[in-house]
């Protein structure tokens, strides 16, 4: 009798370090409540993918899953049920979570083996997404050192408990495109890049040292603006939140045009986002 196998992996929230980790600086990330789940039923002659929850463009979603399956060793065709609650393409690691969940459902549990699959399915990743999603704990990440599980300072834990996630819309650029754009500007000597990268790169240690969380988040956000990865609509949202006494930042690669993916806000009234026609994805109590 064929055994049905079930596995899951969370999305992620980067508290600090976007882009800076690519250049060897530290970052801190925490797992999200949203999950990608995979249930594998072996025994079919061909792969049959069944989606529930957020899937986006099914053709693209199916193609990505097949890209994962093609490099999973000894994977035998079957029915793969996928249930996803992680917003797609908005900075929460949905692609990496799906890779890990599928690999685990297929019985692949060695970290390095799954990381190799991730590097093929999702080339050019910084590594921080995989680290926090694999560990499912807060991590301190800095290349080339091994990611470390960490205990967050109490002030950050308290802030996270009441944080809200706001969807500013999908960017028109992919993460690899944005990373390439930042890297090329850095190589070409763009004077805005180095100071912004260093500002972002210093935030992890500042947070762990217990520096005022509000101040660090605000300065991190300003550095992301200086990089050019916070769209005008996301800037308007965060400016309004700050004017009302809160603080917020983009939690992924962001975007130059369109939306900037997901924003995490602290001490913010959800009515601000709703009044500006942004969707509240999560309100923590």
Split into its structural domains, the chain has a count of 2
Please indicate, yes or no, whether residues 142 and 173 belong to a single structural domain of this protein: no
The pLDDT of residue 53: 84
Please indicate, yes or no, whether residues 225 and 190 belong to a single structural domain of this protein: yes
Which of these three, 132, 149, 166, is where a domain ends?
149
What integer is the mean pLDDT of 39-47? 90
Which of these three, 149, 169, 202, is where a domain ends?
149
The pLDDT tens digits of the residues spanning 205-254 come to 999 999 999 999 999 999 999 999 999 999 999 999 999 999 999 998 99
pLDDT over threshold 80, residue 3: no
Please report, for the domain that includes residue 22, its CATH number.
3.30.230.10
The pLDDT tens digits of the residues spanning 57-116 come to 888 889 999 999 999 988 899 999 999 999 888 889 999 999 999 999 999 999 999 999
Please indicate, yes or no, whether residues 258 and 169 belong to a single structural domain of this protein: yes
The pLDDT of residue 180: 92
Please indicate, yes or no, whether residues 139 and 162 belong to a single structural domain of this protein: no
Which of these three, 149, 182, 217, is where a domain ends?
149
**Residue bearing tokens 């001490």:** 267
Please indicate, yes or no, whether the overall pTM of this predicted structure exceeds 0.85: yes
Please indicate, yes or no, whether residues 73 and 160 belong to a single structural domain of this protein: no
The pLDDT of residue 282: 67
Please indicate, yes or no, whether residues 15 and 137 belong to a single structural domain of this protein: yes
Q: Are 91 and 72 in contact (CB under 8 A)?
A: no
Residue 88 to residues 54, 143, 182: CA-CA distances in angstroms?
Answer: 7, 26, 22
β-strand pairing of 27-42 with 139-141:
antiparallel
What integer is the mean pLDDT of 156-175? 92
Q: What are the residues facing 6 on neighbouring strands? A: 39
Domain span including residue 131: 5-149
What integer is the mean pLDDT of 48-59? 86
CA distance 195 to 177: 21
Please indicate, yes or no, whether residues 130 and 160 belong to a single structural domain of this protein: no
CA distance 167 to 117: 29
The pLDDT of residue 146: 85
Please indicate, yes or no, whether residues 244 and 132 belong to a single structural domain of this protein: no
Please indicate, yes or no, whether residues 128 and 39 belong to a single structural domain of this protein: yes
The pLDDT of residue 1: 41
| Average pLDDT score over the chain | 92
Burial class for 46, CB neighbours closer than 10 Å (0-12, 13-18, 19+): exposed
Please report, for the domain that includes residue 179, its CATH number.
3.30.70.890
Q: What are the residues facing 5 on neighbouring strands? A: 40
Please indicate, yes or no, whether residues 82 and 207 belong to a single structural domain of this protein: no
How much of the chain, in percent, has pLDDT values that exceed 90? 78
pLDDT over threshold 70, residue 283: no
pLDDT over threshold 60, residue 157: yes
Q: Are 91 and 252 in contact (CB under 8 A)?
A: yes
Burial class for 184, CB neighbours closer than 10 Å (0-12, 13-18, 19+): exposed
Please indicate, yes or no, whether residues 237 and 126 belong to a single structural domain of this protein: no
Please indicate, yes or no, whether residues 193 and 221 belong to a single structural domain of this protein: yes
């Amino acid at each position: 009798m064929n055994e049905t196998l079930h596995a899951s992996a969370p999305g992620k929230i980067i508290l600090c370090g976007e882009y800076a980790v690519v250049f060897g600086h530290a970052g801190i990330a925490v797992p999200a409540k949203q999950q990608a789940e995979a249930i594998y039923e072996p025994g079919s002659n061909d792969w049959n993918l069944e989606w529930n929850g957020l899937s986006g463009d099914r053709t693209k979603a199916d193609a990505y899953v097949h890209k994962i399956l093609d490099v999973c060793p000894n994977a035998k065709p079957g029915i793969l049920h996928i249930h996803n609650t992680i917003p797609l393409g908005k900075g929460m690691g949905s692609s990496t979570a799906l890779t890990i969940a599928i690999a685990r459902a297929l019985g692949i549990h060695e970290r390095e083996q799954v990381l190799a699959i991730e590097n093929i399915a999702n080339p050019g990743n910084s590594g921080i997404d995989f680290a926090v999603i694999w560990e499912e704990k807060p991590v301190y990440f800095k290349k080339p050192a091994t990611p470390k599980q960490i205990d967050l300072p109490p002030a950050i834990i308290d802030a996270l408990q009441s944080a809200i996630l706001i969807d500013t819309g999908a960017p028109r650029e992919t993460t690899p495109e944005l990373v390439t754009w930042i890297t090329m500007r850095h190589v070409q000597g763009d004077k805005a890049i180095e100071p912004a990268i260093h500002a972002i790169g210093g935030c992890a240690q500042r947070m762990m040292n217990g520096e005022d969380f509000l101040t660090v988040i605000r300065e991190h956000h300003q550095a992301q603006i200086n990089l050019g990865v916070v769209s005008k609509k996301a800037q308007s949202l965060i400016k309004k939140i700050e004017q009302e006494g809160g603080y917020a930042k983009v939690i992924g690669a962001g975007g130059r045009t369109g939306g900037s993916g997901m924003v995490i806000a602290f001490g913010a009234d959800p009515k601000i986002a709703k009044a500006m026609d942004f969707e509240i994805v999560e309100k923590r109590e």
